[in-house]
Amino acid sequence: MSGAFLRSSSICRDLLQRNSITHFTYPLQDSFPGNQTHSRTYFRLQGFRRKSKEYVLSPSLISSHFSSSSSSTASLCKIGFVGWYLGMVKTWPVLTKSVTSALIYTAADFSSQMIAESSSEPYNFLRTLRMAGYGMIILGPTLHFWFNFVSKLFPRRDIFSILKKMALGQTIYGPAMTVVFFSLNAGWQGETIEEIVVRLKRDLVPTMLNGVIYWPACDFITFKFIPVHLQPLVSNSFSYLWTIYLTYMASLEKAGGAPSQAN
């Protein structure tokens, strides 16, 4: 009996050594009656301690983790307004584009007055209000429907479709909006229909020629690379410089030589 026990103990010892398994006892204080100390046998693979050390976080790893987290947070903060604006474009497309146009026309007229007006004359808030109203009521909604119309008419983005869209803009939308802009602005200044007609004869053709120089490159970028729902925003961004020119042309004296009431 004792020989069998010794042989079994030897076999177990050989198995433990062959599989690199060690055992140890760990005292465990249990809250049993009498506060007796009990021991349990635990088994541990050799090399566990060495492998576990590989997962210890070093200070450099922690600092890099927090720096990457802070950069991610900063990136989220940067795209917060963009995400909000895109959501507004999707939920309230016409209103959002109208407000955007009004803000751009306000900034453009402000810049135009700072560039063109002499420092001795006061700032014309009424003129800026007229420009904001035009962007809000006229330009913003028409840009929304115009870009949707041409995208349905020519849905592809090949070079021929883009050229067709650009041609429609230069021959239909651009001239029509320029006439509306000059007419409304002159009417808000108190000019009569005859004076508005004379102004259009004087200012429309030069404005259209300058538009042919400025807008084709802007339209190509807009139609080629920008999705339809963001095309009015990009077009408005391009129109900032153009609007400075338009507001300057609209503030010129009447065609008959009398000073405009905008000044």
> Going residue by residue through the chain (263 aa), what tens digit of pLDDT does each one get?
545 555 555 555 555 555 544 444 444 444 444 444 444 444 444 444 444 444 444 555 445 544 554 454 455 455 688 889 889 999 999 999 999 999 999 999 898 888 876 556 788 899 899 999 999 999 999 999 999 999 999 999 999 999 999 999 999 999 999 999 999 989 988 899 999 999 999 999 999 999 999 999 999 999 999 999 899 989 988 989 888 888 778 777 676 554 444 43
231 closest CA partner among 154, 173, 144, 157: 144
- State residue 78's pLDDT score: 54
Could you state, in order of their start, the residue ranges of all structural domains in the chain? 2-53, 58-91, 93-250
pLDDT in tens, 186-219: 998 889 999 999 999 999 999 999 999 999 999 9
- State residue 197's pLDDT score: 94
Residue 202 is classified by DSSP as H
Residue 253 is classified by DSSP as P
Residue 139 is classified by DSSP as I
Do 129 and 109 touch, CB atoms closer than 8 A? no
| Average pLDDT, rounded, for the chain | 76
Spatial separation of the C-alpha atoms in residues 19 and 167, rounded to whole Å: 82
> Three-class SS of residue 207?
helix
223 closest CA partner among 149, 141, 138: 149
